[in-house]
Amino acid sequence: MSTPAAIRLHQLTKRYPGADDLAVDHLDLTVPAGEIAVLVGPSGCGKTTTLKMVNRLIEPTSGTVEIDGRPAGEVPVHELRRGIGYVIQHTGLFPHKTVAANIATVPRLLGWDTRRTRDRVEELVDLLGLDRTLLDRYPSALSGGQQQRVGVARALAADPPILLMDEPYSAVDPIVRARLQDELLELQRRLRKTIVLVTHDVDEAIKLGDRMVILNVGGVLEQAGPPAEVLAEPASPFVASFLGEERGLKRLSLLHVRDITPDDGPVVDLGATVAHAREVMQQHRVDWVGVREGDRLLGWHWGTDLDGAGTVEADGIEPFRAVVSPATTLRAALDGIVGSRTNVAVVVDDDGRYRGMVRIDEISERVR
Amino acid sequence: MTPVLVLASRHDRLLSWDWIGDHTDEIWERTLQHLQLTGYAVGIGFVIAMAMALVSLRWRRAYAPLAAFSGTLYSIPSLALFAILVPYTGLGFRPVLIALVTYTLLILLRNIVAGVDGVPPDVVEAAEGMGYEPWRRFLAVDLRLATPAIIGGIRVATVTVIGLVTVGALVGSGGYGVFINDGLSRSFSTPILVGGGLSIAMALAFDLLLTLLQRLVTPWARPGAGR
């Protein structure tokens, strides 16, 4: 596998011919090797222009782009581009080529032999979770999500260390988009490319970026940093308003249940005395009690429903509505809590074992 | 001239099979002449139109004057153009070929340029971003995707030229038009019908052939492509 390359923009500036204002204004930015940097901002902020200056589809007016310390302007332009994967909005797949031929584009330009190219194409199709029967089809026969995956496979074909993605998911519906985003993160965990992605969608930037780079109209850098940091401390009123409402919730979407230590909660074993259950409820200042059998949490009873009984049994037990795993985001956990009558989310591990409870005050502590 | 009225007076039947039987060699010869003239005209026209299209695509400002020029040529009536050329070229094959070439230019130029312009911009951008050299991209992507439009232009030009070659017989180019002239001068219907019928048949055959070719070279555009 290729070694990842760092990208460094130094005083990068673009003024389009005939335009009074700058499209990109003396931008300094470093994307460390193996990281995803997301350029985000309103239209006219120069995010796409910046991206295209990396593979020289647009030549800068002044300033430099360095890839692994080497100025991009010194590399022959076709060589440079063959070493940089490029994914665009409407996929830009060649309609007259089959899926296999589309993916093989750069290997063919590089003069790979047929066998090596074919092996690589099959490897990529498997990697992207595409069916091999699609290889002989034309792009028009594919769904939007499949086309986007083929676009990514084509960009990865010659195993470039760098991937540029220009609004890659804006043309697919939200459900497919979410899945493709998850797939990209999964892919990145394995491949460790240096990725620059452009989007106008703040939530996409927060979800995908190791760092988000917020640009303002005229190509001015407002703030760059890890999403959690940017959300916690917006550098300017522009950034704060661009991040929009629900900044606290967006921060919660970056944190996971495993980041907090759930406590055991008001829980008794099946068959415990009602007197003991009342003690536990009092300690936790709640009017319900959870019931456990071994390492499973069966459900819960209202305190009033235990009146007249001697021991806590499973009859008439209520199930917990909000059940989460350590990998659940705190945002999703909070959503579960809001919809539950007990005001807690129950944490179970992948094997269904009870791990504790998350309360709303533990969550709000994390974003305060 | 009202040939049909005259014809009826001289001959009993519209079509004389004896005449056709006696003239098979000449029919074959005229067919080859007709094909040859059509082929040369479309072939030379295509080369010139392609050169004009390349210039237009490289320098967009050149397109309007080039299209206007070929449009003007296209608007000159064919017989008039033959007459204009004859003093310079003499009678025969050459004036007709030159005139026919000029008629193909507008159709071919417009179709080539429109075909290349119709290539989706994101496809072109992707090709650039993948690292195609400009000439390689033009051949492998732009021109390839413009092929249906270009063949469409060749089809229209060919059918037009096949019709016009018939007129060319008046200045001695040969082809099916010779039969028609002959029939008209003698008020004899058979050669008129043979010449007219065969040129129509040839036009239809090429129309069909080029339509099939268009489908053949654009497998991706077929419904249910690759399923």
Distance, in Å, from the CA atom of A60 to the CA atom of A52, rounded to the nearest integer, reads 9
CB contact under 8 Å between B128 and A81, yes or no, is: yes
Number of Cβ pairs < 8 A linking chain A and chain B: 74
Smallest Cα–Cα separation from A362: which of A256, A247, A209?
Answer: A256
CB contact under 8 Å between B131 and A81, yes or no, is: yes
Indicate the residue type of B11: H
DSSP three-state, residue B90: coil
pLDDT, one tens digit for every residue, chain B (227 residues): 444 544 444 555 777 888 888 888 888 988 999 999 999 999 999 999 999 999 999 999 999 999 999 988 888 887 788 888 888 877 878 888 888 999 999 999 999 999 999 999 999 999 999 999 999 999 999 999 999 999 999 999 999 999 988 888 878 788 888 888 888 888 888 888 888 899 999 999 999 999 999 999 888 877 655 44
Which helix (H) or strand (E) segment holds residue A333: the answer is helix A330-338
Residue B21 vs residues A301, B25, B89, B177, B192: alpha-carbon distances, Å: 107, 9, 36, 19, 15
Q: Does B5 touch chain A (CB under 8 A)?
A: no
CB contact under 8 Å between A138 and B225, yes or no, is: yes
CB contact under 8 Å between A86 and B129, yes or no, is: yes
Q: Which residue in the set B129, B141, B218 is minimally distant from A55, CB to CB? A: B129
Q: What is the mean pLDDT of chain B?
A: 86
Distance, in Å, from the CA atom of A168 to the CA atom of A10, rounded to the nearest integer, reads 25
Q: What would the two tokens of residue A265 be?
A: 């909660």
List the single residue in A with minimal CA-CA distance to B148: A96
Q: What would the two tokens of residue B120 be?
A: 């989706």
Q: Which residue in the set A96, A105, A136 is minimally distant from B144, CB to CB? A: A96
Q: Which of A96, A106, A108, A148 to mutate to test the interface with B (most CBs of B within 10 A)?
A: A96
Q: Does B19 touch chain A (CB under 8 A)?
A: no
Q: Which stretches within B187-226 are classed as H helix?
A: 189-217
DSSP three-state, residue A162: strand
Distance, in Å, from the CA atom of A264 to the CA atom of A270, rounded to the nearest integer, reads 15
Q: Which residue in the set A80, A88, A138 is minimally distant from B126, CB to CB? A: A88
Q: What would the two tokens of residue A41 be?
A: 């901002």
CB B41 within 8 A of CB B72: no
Q: Which of B116, B119, B125, B130 to mutate to test the interface with A (most CBs of A within 10 A)?
A: B130
Name chain A contacts of B227, Cβ cutoff 8 Å: 137, 141
Distance, in Å, from the CA atom of A129 to the CA atom of A183, rounded to the nearest integer, reads 9
CA distance A222 to chain B (A): 28
pLDDT, one tens digit for every residue, chain A (368 residues): 456 679 999 999 999 998 889 999 999 999 999 999 999 999 889 999 999 999 999 999 999 999 988 899 899 999 999 999 999 988 899 999 999 999 999 999 999 999 999 999 999 999 888 999 999 999 999 998 899 999 999 999 999 999 999 999 988 888 888 989 999 999 999 999 999 999 999 989 999 999 999 999 999 999 999 998 999 899 999 999 998 878 888 888 888 888 888 788 899 999 899 999 999 999 999 999 999 998 999 999 998 888 888 888 888 899 998 999 988 989 899 999 988 888 899 999 888 899 999 988 888 887 77
Q: Does B210 touch chain A (CB under 8 A)?
A: no
CB contact under 8 Å between B123 and A89, yes or no, is: no
Smallest Cα–Cα separation from A199: which of A99, A87, A113, A98?
Answer: A87
List the single residue in B with minimal CA-CA distance to A56: B129
Beta strands A354-359 and A323-324, pairing class: unpaired
- What ipTM is given for this predicted complex? 0.77
